[in-house]
Structure 1
Amino acid sequence: MPRRSIKLLLADTLEDLSNQNFEKFCYHLLDRRQEPRVRRSRVEGKKRLDIVDVLVSTFTEEGAVGVTEEILREIGCNSEAETLEMPPKSARKLLKNSLESLTKENFEKFRSELLDRRDGVKMNQVQGKSFLEVADVMISVYTERRVLNVAEEILKEICCGQEACELAEEAKKAGLQSSDAASSDEKHFVDKHMDELIQKVSNVLPILDKLLKAGVIQPEVYDNISAERTSQAKMRALCHGPLRASRKVQDIFLDILKAQEPFLFDDLMKR
């Protein structure tokens, strides 16, 4: 069953209140001393749906849920408060919140480590950018399905273990994939056939050329891998280095492999 929007969630909750409890709710909403305050003219004589709009416009969607639950408990509507559960957050929202919680220094480290992964994120996409912009770039590169896993890995790499654990816990609550949730059934073609690729891909340089052009690897990585003496050594460096970065990178490599080594690709696909 599709999840309800926050507005619908609030509307259903207020509709379930008796007229007496709805009046109490409105009274306590006006009586709140914390900012932002709600003006009397926006509440008195208004219908339940109007109050939902007031709550969301005043406190934002997420804040409105918390305020509503707080008031429900104050007026003794605990059962209604218990059923008022906020819909799970999206991967983008969780990532944004996680990046926003970092200190300025750790956010700089995060951006630097993100670039060091060399799996498609370009310097001009993240350098000097806000946490919101970085979050959007990461989602475009890694997709919403994998972005939280990557963020968790980077947080651990920059010694933000607590933030990594909090992100994993929030992802679990929201029903999103955590870093250890990937199953063996989802093993990528590159991981599944890595040994064969290392042994059987003979013409590595054209593949490196295309990976460099696609921005998957940087010139320094290209030079290091090219300097390896044998094709097996080149492929080993590629498989155990850049191709470990993400499934997106592996997908790009796979497309190149299909074009460069069609017979090998077809043979491995049959296994």
Structure 2
Amino acid sequence: MDKRKAVKRMLSNLSRHNFNNFRDELVNRQKEPRIVRNRVEEKSFLEITEVLISTFSETGAVEVSAELLIAIDCHTEAAQLLKDAGDECSEPESRNMGATGGPASENGSRDSEHFVDKHRTELINRVNCVADILDQLLENKVITPSIYDEILVIPTSQKQMRKLFSGPLNAAGPRGKDVFYRILEKEEKYLIEELKRKK
């Protein structure tokens, strides 16, 4: 199956809920080139296929679509898309997920140190909204209710963050760190932007 057909098939098979999430993730994508909302809002899967291909090329449309699917937790759909498009990578989460910037390092290699590990000290010292972050980590099942309660009673945000890094995040693995990164992008936007600029 060629790449255009693979993207079209993927979009046509998404549930309405996942299709809406995909579209929302697409317009909120931070990496250039960006797509403005009115190009995809209320558009059919055929129209969005054309927008993806005209913006990113056929190969790029497959890669960006896989990234967005992973971001909305449609891992099976991402794997099927890559298979249909003739991509030999069977683990889509091992790709450079540029939609978030978290899983891959600045050089785009998944083998490199994860963003949150690389900036561990800065994050421990400067993140303040730990309770909000814990709420979302619990909601996304990155941490358990008992870990949530244990960290929440710790008196300072620095100690809370240190505890989070020392056990639960390591146990959650790369996927849990990806979720943590996306939460930080939302809750600590300016800090993350500053850290991204650091080499």
Normalising by the smaller structure, the TM-score range is 0.3 to 0.5
Which has the greater radius of gyration?
1
Which fold has the larger relative contact order, with Cα–Cα distance below 8 Å and residues 6 or more apart in sequence? 2
- With the length of structure 2 as denominator, give the TM-score of the two structures: 0.44
TM-score (norm 1): 0.33
